[in-house]
Amino acid sequence: MDKDFISKILMGQASEAEKETYYRLLAEDENERELFLKTKELWVITSANNKISEQTVDQEFDEFWSKAVHQVQDNKPSQKLFSLLRYAAIAILLIGLGSLSSYLLLNSDQASNHLVQKFSAEKGSMAHFELDDGTVVWLNSETEIVLSEDQEGTRNIELKGEAYFEVRNSDKHGLLVNVGDLKIKDIGTSFNVKAYPDDDFIETTLMEGAVDILKSNNATITRLKPGENATYMRSDKSLNIKNVDVELISAWIDGKFAFRDKRLEDICLELENWYDVKFRFEDKQLKDFRYSGAIDKTTTVGYVLKMLKLTTNIQYQINNKPYELDEIIIY
């Protein structure tokens, strides 16, 4: 395959049919796969560091291509590096419902062959991708994860935001989600983790299977059962476990806001994360008003507010600000 076609793949200009044909070639031809992965490694790292413009991309890619061909011909990647590089191909196969970006980061210690993959979904979007063993990860609005693999084959995930994991049972791969104060260890399962940096809480909800909640030093705190939700408060380091409706917790995957007896202030925080607006309560008592309902995320924030107004006594005013987040006043 020539460099112009690989350039189209890397720049996101190839059609779905072209990508499907090329990925099939990668699966069948080891030399082509090694060449592509090395080329992508050089391409992404240099692009991230130098902020390559569209005008200079052809010239830069010619240089990367020469380096990649030379490296693949002279130095085949080690088995460990190739094992990690498979995530580069996985990144290309991402299926996004909204805006999902990904890129590679390479450790400064080249001898360690330490490679990690970073994925993110912007505000107002969701996305998901699949790992090589069939594990599927969903990202909610304004979520970022960094994925790496240790020498034992455990996938380590650093999470900021909210993600849903459908993990395939595997003797070769474990999965550990790090959210700062806590770690969530997969035992072959489906689970949801909500850990936005600005929130005082971390929520883990188990749909199927089992997960262990660990301290940052890997000491086990508890093991969740299906239908259980563990809420950890950062302020006082308390952990509360309760039974919940898992369909409500995972409704965001189906593109819905779903609330059951939820505080209006907490609802507004979700709306802020999705619509990139800011809420302000003139009547502080309204923060504790509780609401139940389901609303599609494809609607506008104005429509959501109308729905809330129909079933409550709230009034609202939207202040459009050209250079700041639009402000919505609740009174």
Specify the pLDDT at position 32: 74
In a shared domain, residues 106 and 225? yes
- Among 213, 231, 254, the domain boundary falls at 254
In the structure encoding, which two tokens stand for residue 94, read together? 């991402």
What CATH number is attached to the domain comprising 145? Answer: 2.60.120.1440
Residues 2 and 52 in one domain: yes
- Give yes or no: residues 158 and 215 share one domain: yes
Convert the pLDDT of each residue in 232-270 to its tens digit: 999 999 999 999 989 889 999 988 888 888 899 999 999
- Is residue 202 in some structural domain? yes
**Mean pLDDT for all residues in the chain:** 77
pLDDT digits (tens, 9 = 90+) for 17-34: 777 777 777 777 777 776
CATH code where residue 302 lies: 3.55.50.30
Instruction: Examine the domain organization and report whether 219 and 106 are in the same domain.
Output: yes
Instruction: Mark out the alpha helices in 172-281 (DSSP H runs).
Output: 246-249, 264-275
Q: Are residues 116 and 233 in the same domain?
A: yes
Report angle CA 19, 150, 225 to the nearest 5 degrees.
90
Q: Average the pLDDT over 42-47 and give the result.
A: 47
Report if residue 85 sits inside a domain.
no
The tens digit of pLDDT for each residue in 87-99 reads: 433 433 333 333 4
What mean pLDDT do residues 147-156 have? Answer: 84
d(CA 145, CA 161): 8
- Which DSSP string do the residues of 291-306 spell out, in sequence order? EEEEEETTS-HHHHHH
Given a contact cutoff of 8 angstroms between Cβ atoms, the answer to whether 175 and 163 are in contact is no
Find residue 104's DSSP bridge partners: 117
The CA distances from residue 223 to 157, 171, 200, 230, 231, in Å, are 19, 20, 22, 10, 13
Q: pLDDT band for 56, please (50, 70, 90 cuts).
A: very low
* Range with lowest mean pLDDT among 54-63, 135-144, 290-299: 54-63
Q: Which amino acid is at 241?
A: I
pLDDT tens sequence across 266-276:
999 999 989 88
> H or E segment at 221?
strand 220-224
Are 97 and 202 part of one and the same domain? yes
pLDDT recorded at residue 161: 95
Domain count, the chain: 3
* 250 shares its domain with 120: yes
Same-domain pairing of 102 and 210? yes
Q: Evaluate if pTM is beyond 0.85.
A: no
Tokens of 72: 């693949």
Q: Are residues 318 and 227 in the same domain?
A: no
Joined together, the tokens standing for residue 42 give 């050089």
Distance CA 245, CA 162 (A): 17
Domain that holds residue 274: 256-330
The more confident residue out of 55 and 305 is 305
Confidence category of residue 7, pLDDT binned at 50, 70, 90: low
